[in-house]
């Protein structure tokens, strides 16, 4: 009976498949290594471009603030007062950005998921907190 099994075409196909597996795995691993290397080089380039964009953005912001100060001085505002106005404007924008960051940080702890994963959450004091359901959105912002 062992001789009959060896003559079956599916047995030979299975043996061929098993023999080819190491080559298939090796090829896939080599492709993965090459793509990871390429992705690493791409990340380095992206980081360099982000740094360049940040430097250029800061330079543009400084030029804008200097231009506003010069425009105020041209309107006969004393230069210390013009500089104070630009400083206050920058501080106001920084405060608004920090306030927004504080609101966003609260969501990093995944509060709704934690409430739903805790056993007996329906009986605890915090169970009355209702998180309104929001539809999942795509990258474009459409539901």
pLDDT digit string, tens, across residues 75-108: 999 999 999 999 999 999 999 999 999 999 988 8
Dihedral (Cα; 63, 52, 141, 112), 10-degree rounding: -100
Which among 20, 54, 76 is the end of a domain?
Answer: 76
What is the predicted pLDDT for the residue at 23?
Answer: 79
Are residue 7 and residue 69 in the same domain, yes or no?
Answer: yes
Are residue 53 and residue 109 in the same domain, yes or no?
Answer: no
Domain that holds residue 64: 1-76
The CA distance from 31 to 12, in Å, is: 29
Which among 51, 76, 101 is the end of a domain?
Answer: 76
Judge whether residue 141 has pLDDT over 90.
no
Q: Is 23 helix (H, G, I), strand (E, B) or coil?
A: helix
- In percent, the amount of the chain with pLDDT more than 70 equals 78
Number of domains observed in the structure of the chain:
2
What is the predicted pLDDT for the residue at 130?
Answer: 53
Closest CA to 70 of 61, 80, 82, 81: 82
Q: Between 18 and 72, whose confidence is greater?
A: 72
């Amino acid at each position: 009976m062992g001789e009959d099994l060896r003559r079956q075409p599916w047995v030979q196909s299975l043996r061929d498949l098993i023999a080819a597996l190491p080559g298939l795995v090796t090829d896939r691993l080599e492709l993965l290594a090459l793509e990871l290397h390429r992705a690493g080089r791409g990340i380095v380039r992206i980081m360099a471009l982000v740094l360049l964009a940040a430097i250029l953005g800061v330079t543009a912001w400084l030029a804008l603030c200097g231009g506003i100060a010069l425009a105020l001085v041209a309107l006969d505002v004393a230069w210390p007062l013009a500089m104070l106005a630009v400083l206050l404007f920058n501080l106001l924008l920084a405060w608004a950005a920090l306030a927004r960051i504080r609101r966003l940080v609260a969501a990093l702890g995944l509060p709704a998921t934690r409430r739903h994963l805790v056993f007996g959450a329906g009986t605890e004091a915090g169970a009355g907190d209702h998180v309104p359901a929001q539809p999942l959105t795509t990258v474009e912002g459409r539901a």
